[in-house]
Amino acid sequence: MIDTNLLLEKGATYRYTEAGEVIFNEGAPAAFYYQLVSGRVRWSHFEDNGKEVLHKIVEDGEAFGEFPLFDGEPYAASAIADSPCTILRLSAASFHELLAERPDIHLAFSKSLVSHLRFKFFLLNALSKNNPQTVLVELIDYFNQHGKLICKDCNRLMVTRQQLANMAGLRVETVIRAIKQLQQEDKLCIVKGKVFIPADGI
C-alpha cells in the first residue's frame, strides 16, 4: 500500500520468515506497521479448541495488522506466514509520522479499512443463507471480482479447501462435498485436485 522506497526512507527494515512462522500473536501490543513484499500471510484467530478462524489471506503489496495502529488496542488476530515471506516493518511512531505528513496515504488506509468491513458484511450475509454451496459460490465470485486469490494466468483458486472452510466457518468435509457438487454442475473444474474457475466466474 505504501511505496517501498518511502518506507525505507522512514526507517523500515526487512524481516524474512519461514512458512508457519508466527509474525505476531493475538493480544500482543502493536509495535510495527507490516507490509508484505513477497509470500502470503494468514490473518487468523484461534479458538480454545485450536480451530482456526481465517479472516484474511494477505498477498504481495498488502498491509496487515494495521488496525491497532489506529485505535491503540492489541492485535485482534494473529499473523502467520503461509509461505516463506519477505516483509517490511516500520515502527508505529514512524508510521504515525508518515500519516501526518501524507494525508493521501491516510485516506488510502481509511478506504482499506472500509473494504475490510464491507467484506465482513458480505461474508455474514452469505453465511446467513445457511447453504454451504451458496456460501462458496458467493465467496469465490467475490475473489474473482476483486482479483484476489485466483491465479490471473490460469484461473486456479489459490486457497485450500481447509482455508475455505476456516474462512467460511464450515467443516472441511462440507466444503469438499460442496465443491464436488459445483463440479458436477459444471460451475468449476477440478484437475489433479486443483480447483479452476471459469473465466467468466461461477
80-121 residue pLDDT tens? 999 999 999 999 999 999 999 999 999 999 999 899 899 989
For position 198, what pLDDT does the model report? 84
For position 160, what pLDDT does the model report? 93
Q: In angstroms, rounded to a whole number, what is the distance separating the alpha carbons of residues 62 and 81?
A: 14
Which carries the bigger pLDDT value, residue 39 or residue 129? 39
Question: Is there a contact between 35 and 79 (Cβ–Cβ < 8 Å)?
Answer: no
Instruction: Tell me the average pLDDT of the chain.
Output: 92
Q: What is the DSSP letter of 62?
A: -
For position 152, what pLDDT does the model report? 86
40-86 residue pLDDT tens? 999 999 988 888 999 999 999 999 989 999 999 999 999 999 999 99
Which cell numbers in the block locate residue 44?
487468523
Q: Which amino acid is at 15?
A: R
Q: In angstroms, rounded to a whole number, what is the distance separating the alpha carbons of residues 140 and 171?
A: 17
For position 69, what pLDDT does the model report? 94
Which helix (H) or strand (E) is 33 found in, with range?
strand 32-38
Summarize the confidence of residues 164-185 as an average pLDDT: 92
Query: Residue 118 phi/psi, 5° resolution?
Result: -60, -40
**Cell match 510495527: residue?**
32
Residue 201 has pLDDT above 80, yes or no: no
Q: What percent of the chain has pLDDT over 90?
A: 74
For position 48, what pLDDT does the model report? 85
Q: Which amino acid is at 61?
A: G
Please list the helix, strand and coil fractions of the chain in percent, rounded to the nearest 5, in that order: 40, 25, 35
